[in-house]
Amino acid sequence: MATVLVVDDEPIVREVVVRYLAREGHRTLEAADGEAAKNAIERGDPDLVVLDVMLPGADGLEICRWIRARSELPVIMLTARGEEADRIVGLELGADDYVTKPFSPRELAARVRSVLRRAASSGPVAERISFGDVELERATREARKNGDTVRLTAKEFDLLWFLASHPRRVFSRDQLMASVWGYTAALDTGTVTVHIRRLREKIEDDPSKPRYLETVWGVGYRLAA
């Protein structure tokens, strides 16, 4: 069965969730705050994270963003009843599902089964992505165009990999800031525009007429592969 990390600052909640997941045959890990969650993810290699939004220090949305910047690890968010904004932001950041508090442990266990089943059916995470004459290598973080190495900064690679992982999907600047840079506060999103311009200069034959990195006016950007 799977290894599930339960992140909640309330010991009684963790105890109940862990008990029900153990009945399902899952191995469980626990964390009471954001930093402990990061350490558990890096050391324990869980298959899924049950993540409360309200955490001391780094909250659940920030941890979800941190996870999505690194992997496709499935995440189920726990939110307070009526906190629709948290649920919407969580899903936009890439959470796979959410359960509102107070919740039925049996329902949560069923959601865990469902999300794990979907994750298993989606296949392994890509290690190499190609579009047109461009190829990205995840393990070495290398980019090539027509077989020649393209020198990208760390964030340029992260941004291009993210867009290439979701071909034809349009992302706003705010969404890209959240998913690639890890910011959800109202910050200057001009950095996204700058990075898109630099990427076009490096991978497009004609940066003024981009073939890959398209601007969708009034919305954002997409990789049109």
* Per-residue H/E/C for 123-189: CCCCCEEEECCEEEECCCCEEEECCEEECCCHHHHHHHHHHHHCCCCCECHHHHHHHHHCCCCCCCC
Least confident of 37-41, 46-50, 89-93: 89-93
Q: How confident is the model at residue 186 (pLDDT cuts 50, 70, 90)?
A: very low
pLDDT tens readout for residues 192-208: 899 999 999 999 999 99
- Among residues 148, 176, 175, the alpha carbon closest in space to that of 160 is found at 176
Query: At the topology level of CATH, where does 3-121 sit?
Result: Rossmann fold (3.40.50)
Residues 109, 100: Cα–Cα separation, whole Å: 13
End-to-end Cα separation, the chain, in angstroms: 37
Strand partners, 49: 5, 75
**pLDDT score recorded for residue 80:** 80
Is domain 128-223 annotated with CATH 1.10.10.10? yes
The helix/strand/coil state of 27 is strand
Q: What percentage of the chain carries pLDDT values higher than 70?
A: 91
**pLDDT score recorded for residue 138:** 86
Residue 74: alpha-carbon gap to chain centroid: 9
Domain residue extents for the chain? 3-121, 128-223
Q: b/e map of 130-161 (b: 16 or more CB within 10 Å)?
A: ebeebbbeeeeeebeeeeeebebeeebbbbbb
Q: What is the pTM of this model?
A: 0.56
Most confident of 34-38, 43-47, 72-76: 34-38
Average pLDDT, rounded, for the chain: 87
Most confident of 78-92, 168-182, 204-218: 204-218
Most confident of 35-49, 73-87, 198-212: 198-212
